[in-house]
């Protein structure tokens, strides 16, 4: 009797194979792939800023970072502190003043009040800089998304980081091109065994 009635042979890509010395089918199941472009950072208690947050942004493999946090104002304040401590050029955009320096109060980029204009400035800049934009869906026009995709692909300009900061960020057209940093506060929903009891955290 043929121990391999379906004539299955070693199929490396599919992960199925039939052993010739046994009369049953073995199925190899691979672990689900992890999303290497997503990084989860967690805080708890009175802590509002994840440890090494700024370093994680700089270590991103690409120019575009989606930063999803329940505390965007606190994270922006942390970036202001980093700009002063490290002497880095970090700018934050808003509709009233455009791109404004977080290191030097009152310093703004002329002609950057429109988001598309601010992104063009980022593209043309050949210097290192971190540029923070709020994740306001009304601002993400097709033109803005196209500019962000161009920045993400890094075809022009020097080393830089464009950070889209907000809560519950959903921008499918950019997710595949960006490093997503997800900040969650409080205990994890995952169950763990502690002192003989299942607890969350």
* Residue 126 pLDDT > 70: yes
- CA–CA separation, 179 and 30 (whole Å): 25
| High-pLDDT (> 90) share of the chain, % | 63
- With b for 16 or more beta-carbon neighbours within 10 A and e for fewer, the 18-32 pattern comes to beeeeeeeeeeeeee
Give me the mean pLDDT over the 8-32 stretch.
37
* Residue 99 pLDDT > 80: yes
160-171: per-residue pLDDT in tens?
Answer: 999 999 998 989
Give which of 145, 158, 178 is closest to 36, Cα–Cα.
178
- CA–CA separation, 130 and 1 (whole Å): 68
- Report the chain's mean pLDDT, rounded to a whole number: 81
pTM: 0.75
* Residue 20 pLDDT > 50: no
Q: Is residue 96 within 8 Å of residue 136, measured between CB atoms?
A: no
pLDDT number for residue 138: 83
Q: Is residue 124 within 8 Å of residue 93, measured between CB atoms?
A: no
- Going along the chain from its start, the domains and CATH numbers come out as 1-30 (no CATH), 38-185 (3.40.50)
């Amino acid at each position: 009797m043929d121990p391999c009635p379906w004539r299955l042979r070693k199929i490396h890509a599919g992960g199925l194979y039939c052993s010739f010395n046994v009369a049953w089918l073995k199925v190899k199941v691979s672990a689900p792939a992890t999303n290497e472009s997503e990084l989860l950072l967690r805080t708890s208690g009175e802590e509002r800023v994840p440890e090494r947050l700024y370093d994680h942004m700089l270590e991103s493999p690409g120019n575009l970072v989606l930063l999803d946090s329940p505390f965007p104002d606190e994270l922006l304040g942390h970036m202001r502190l980093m700009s002063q401590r490290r002497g880095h050029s970090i700018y934050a955009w808003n509709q009233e003043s455009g791109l404004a320096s977080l290191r030097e109060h009152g310093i703004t980029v002329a002609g950057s009040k429109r988001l598309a204009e601010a992104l063009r400035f980022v593209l043309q800049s050949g210097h290192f800089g971190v540029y923070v934009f709020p994740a306001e869906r009304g601002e993400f026009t097709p033109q803005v998304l196209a500019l962000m995709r161009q920045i993400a692909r890094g075809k022009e300009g020097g080393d830089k980081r464009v950070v889209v900061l907000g809560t519950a960020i959903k921008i499918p057209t950019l997710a595949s091109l960006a490093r997503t940093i997800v900040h969650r506060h409080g205990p994890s929903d995952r169950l763990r065994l502690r002192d003989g009891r299942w607890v969350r955290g």
